Amino acid sequence: MSFSAAVNQWQRLLGSVQVLLGDAAMAAYGSDTGGAVRRIPAALRILDGADLQEVMRIATRHQVPVYPISTGNNWGYGSALPPRDDCVILDLSGLTKVLDFDDEFGVVTLEPGVTQGMLAHFLDAGNFPYMVPVTGAGPNCSVAGNALERGYGITPHVDHFGAVTDLEAVLPDGSLYRTALREAGGQELARLFKWGIGAYSAGLFTQGGFGIVTRMTIILQRKPECINVCFFGLRDDSLLAPAIRAIRSTLVKLPGAVGGINLMNQHRVLSMSAPFPLNRLGEDGLIPLSVIQQLGQQYKVLPWTGFGTLYGTDRTVAAARREIRGALSKVASRLYFFTPRRAHALRSIARWLPGIAGKRVSSMADKLAQSLELVAGRPNETALPLAYWRHPIAQQDTYKHPSRDGSGLLWYAPLVPMRALDVREYIDMVKRITHKYRMEPLITLTSINDRLFDSTVPLLFDRDQATAVASAQTCYNELLEAGRTRGWFPYRVGIDNMRLLASLQSDSGAFHARLRKGLDPHDLMAPGRYR
């Protein structure tokens, strides 16, 4: 290995200003919301995707490991950091071209640096009637990066990689990967048909580190005639079981019309609507139940809050509303339906209300309007204040960036079968373990389909305190192991927990190792990623 020789060649290829070394690389990419630390010897800022083949030939020639990132905003899972030390960061955030767009079919091909906000601007500029596949991570996060992590969203295309039809990648030796259908049948067919022809191999580039994806084609959802959001509450925790059965029944009856249904416990909703009650904590450092109940009354937050999205024509959405009312009427309280227009009208009216109550209503109306923008495919920062709740920190720029701003956050995101008994046992486990480590149990259950929830539990902590960082990681590890023994396991994990996967795999691990040995014999591409 000759690191200095590789750096010299990279500088000649990319220009010295695009090659960050030592402290400069650490300053640009070394922070992480989870408190993880890695040695980063260098970072390459890629401004032309055509350079990546030669970048990898140099890496292979000198056997220097690399780690590609799209924007590096993978908050709660490692941010921009690699799983292992001494990897050179390949920053693809400068690759921001929309390479192709079929406005008839709504099929877009883009580079990995295209963010949710950039795609929204592109669609707005052309007045194209399609929705951005948004997430709660905000407008500055990569569209392709989230799909490659097999992330989920809240628009009709819930499974973001499910909407991906075609991709191109640079392999560790600098050669190209293209799908068989693209080469044999043409680019248009490849963009329109996900599965291609022959062995399906594009999925290897998700959560796998087999190559650097340089372009990705995604089918966008057309804006529907009507969008409704359903809000409801459960007045008592004992109503959770019948509510889950009603939600499952609704999803079975209304495939396609319901984008997804979220259930959030009182803690989680308060973390998005009320300031952290720092002066009202108990001796254990947690918010007492009595304070949670008082805040719930003050902010009108019930023990559980439901949030569902409806898409379709005016007639189909009206029919779906009737079905949901019938399914939830016996268990739900405060069952409301909002359209984006109604939410904006409410926000305008609320701003004229006087006093503290008026400010509270105005704040809630603002959040409602922003939430409806999100489900309508408009990226915004509605969900990001969560990362700042436990330890409020002033953001350092015009947009929120939890890693740069110093927020402490780890995401525990297990898959949980949509059965009332499973969910109850899961919630009890999360409460027990988070309380043990003095963390608030902020729980969301999001329907992936009519059989499965993806739960998200943010572990919030003070990143400036080494003991708090260690406690958060230990809490995560205990949640991971306790959940695994009960049959719940995350659909994605952070960089500090990827090594655990190797000990839990035998046949699948051996299969992937054989593939990697042929494609990457020196283990240079994202070493340690999900293995």
257-269: pLDDT as tens digits = 898 899 999 999 9
pLDDT tens sequence across 190-221: 999 999 999 999 999 999 889 999 999 999 99
Distance separating alpha carbons of residues 262 and 229, to the nearest angstrom: 11
Distance separating alpha carbons of residues 97 and 100, to the nearest angstrom: 9
pLDDT at 218: 97
Statement: residue 356 has pLDDT above 80: no
Amino acid at 331: V
Q: Where in the chain is CATH 3.30.465.10?
A: 98-222
Mean pLDDT of the chain: 92
Q: Where in the chain is CATH 3.30.70.2190?
A: 224-338
Statement: residue 31 has pLDDT above 70: yes
pLDDT at 529: 93
Q: Which CATH architecture has domain 224-338?
A: 2-Layer Sandwich (3.30)
Tokens of 509: 């691990």
What's the 3-state SS for 114-133? CEHHHHHHHHHHCCCCEECC
Tokens of 328: 């939830």
Helix (H, G, I), strand (E, B) or coil at 70: coil
Terminal-to-terminal C-alpha distance of the chain: 23
pLDDT tens sequence across 389-427: 988 876 677 788 999 999 999 999 999 999 999 999 999
Other beta carbons within 10 angstroms of residue 508's beta carbon come to 10
- CATH classification code of 384-492: 3.40.462.10
Q: Where in the chain is CATH 3.30.43.10?
A: 1-94+496-531
Other beta carbons within 10 angstroms of residue 194's beta carbon come to 19
Statement: residue 358 has pLDDT above 60: no
Distance separating alpha carbons of residues 186 and 180, to the nearest angstrom: 9
Q: What angle do CA 400, 141, 469 make, to 5 degrees?
A: 60
Local confidence band at 153 (pLDDT 50, 70, 90 cut-offs): confident
- Could you tell me the pTM of the whole model? 0.93
Q: Where in the chain is CATH 3.40.462.10?
A: 384-492
Fold for the domain defined by 1-94+496-531: 3.30.43
Statement: residue 361 has pLDDT above 60: no
Fold for the domain defined by 98-222: 3.30.465
